[in-house]
Amino acid sequence: MIPIAKPYLTREDAQAAYDTILTGWITQGPKVQEFEENFAAYTGAKYAVAVSNCTTALHLSLIVSGIKPGDEVICPSMSYIATANAIKYVGATPVFAEVHPANYNLDPVDVEKRITAKTKAILLVHQIGMPADIDNFSSLSKKYGLKLIEDAACAAGSAYKGKKIGSHSELVCFSFHPRKVISTGDGGMITTDQEDHFNRLKLLRQHGMSVNDRVRHEAKQIVFEDHFEVGYNYRMTDIQASVGIKQLEKLEWLINERRKIAAEYHKAFKDLEFVQLPTENDGYFSNYQSYSIYLKKSCPVGRNDLMQILLDQGIASRRGIMTAHREMAYKKNSNHVNLPISEDLQDHSILLPLYVPMEDKDLQYVIATFLKIVNP
């Protein structure tokens, strides 16, 4: 079976975790700080705060942005459900907006139409690694006095107008889940240029504790901590961070390899009139966390049938990106939601295998099998 994705983890990563375990320091400690500093330097942000996953990163970012019960936050429905869930965690209401059919990212025109007096933030997703139009949304946020938070779960290493994702907005959230370009098993990161956000995020991730474990451990005199506010246990372990440090060193190479695979798909499918391929406009640089193809109505094979035939031939695939408003958790309160583009994209898109290393024979088999199915 050719999988849809798999993490690139090596003996070097395993050795880093092993060495960290032997130090006896396995929870949040010096390796977490090193990973944070390295990640901030890579993205060009002043600060980075490591957390347990991207969902907790989004939750904390909404809190420090001052989002409260009764507020509205505009986000895409076409995103993993964690995007909307994080908004619900703070008692706010996710307001689902439409995406652009060419890149699956929020449409600024549609977003502006949905701004009300209750709107306090826009949660902008860089879907499957393709950067969204940050400048347009930054201008929109300033125009209406809104917070702009980036959900960059899939976008580590992607770039917008010459700068890495993570250095453009007040708060940017990343994921290190196994489906992402680099992984720590699970884990997340928040980048920011604001020192007040940096300090409060560090408090919130560790129960609001005034002094972290590392400081207490290294102190030459007794230290008693206080707890400044109700916080959370959203820490990253040093075991994860040690793997993350090594993964980050490979990130540019991994992206280069992923882009080679995407280029092969582009070349093979560019002449098919009944498919729409990913669009990477000038100034946009994708890490190709996933490769999604939209099947037009003229495609001779339906999406679900295509997926089943691929599976029968030993090739895993996935349906288009989910739409949260059609999931049971949100469906009962989303009867009024009208998102025909998002629904159409989900229903007629397919994600093909893309991972490193992907042997050329496997890549060519996927391409040949796909072409045989759609051109019987």
Active site includes 331?
no
Task: Give the other-Cβ count within 10 Å of 47's Cβ.
Answer: 19
Cis amide leading into 357 (omega within 30): yes
- Residue 220 is which amino acid? K
> How far, in Å, are 196, 220, 347 from residue 341 at the CA level?
39, 61, 10
Cα angle 320-326-329, degrees, rounded to a multiple of 5: 120
Q: Choose, from 120, 147, 164, 180, the residue flagged as catalytic.
A: 180
**CA 306, CA 370: separation in Å to the nearest integer?**
8
Residues 134 and 168: beta-carbon distance below 8 Å? yes
**CA 100, CA 107: separation in Å to the nearest integer?**
5
Residues 306 and 296: beta-carbon distance below 8 Å? no
With a CB cutoff of 8 Å and minimum separation 6, the contacts of 332 are: none
Chain centroid to CA 370: 27
Interhelix angle 303-312/360-374, nearest 10 degrees:
130
Write the DSSP symbol of residue 129: G
**CA 105, CA 84: separation in Å to the nearest integer?**
15
Q: How many CA atoms lie within 13 A of 34 on its CB side?
A: 17
Rg of the chain over CA atoms, in angstroms? 21
Q: Which residues pair with 276 in a beta bridge?
A: 294
CA dihedral 260, 271, 284, 81 (to 10 degrees): -90
Active site residue ranges: 180
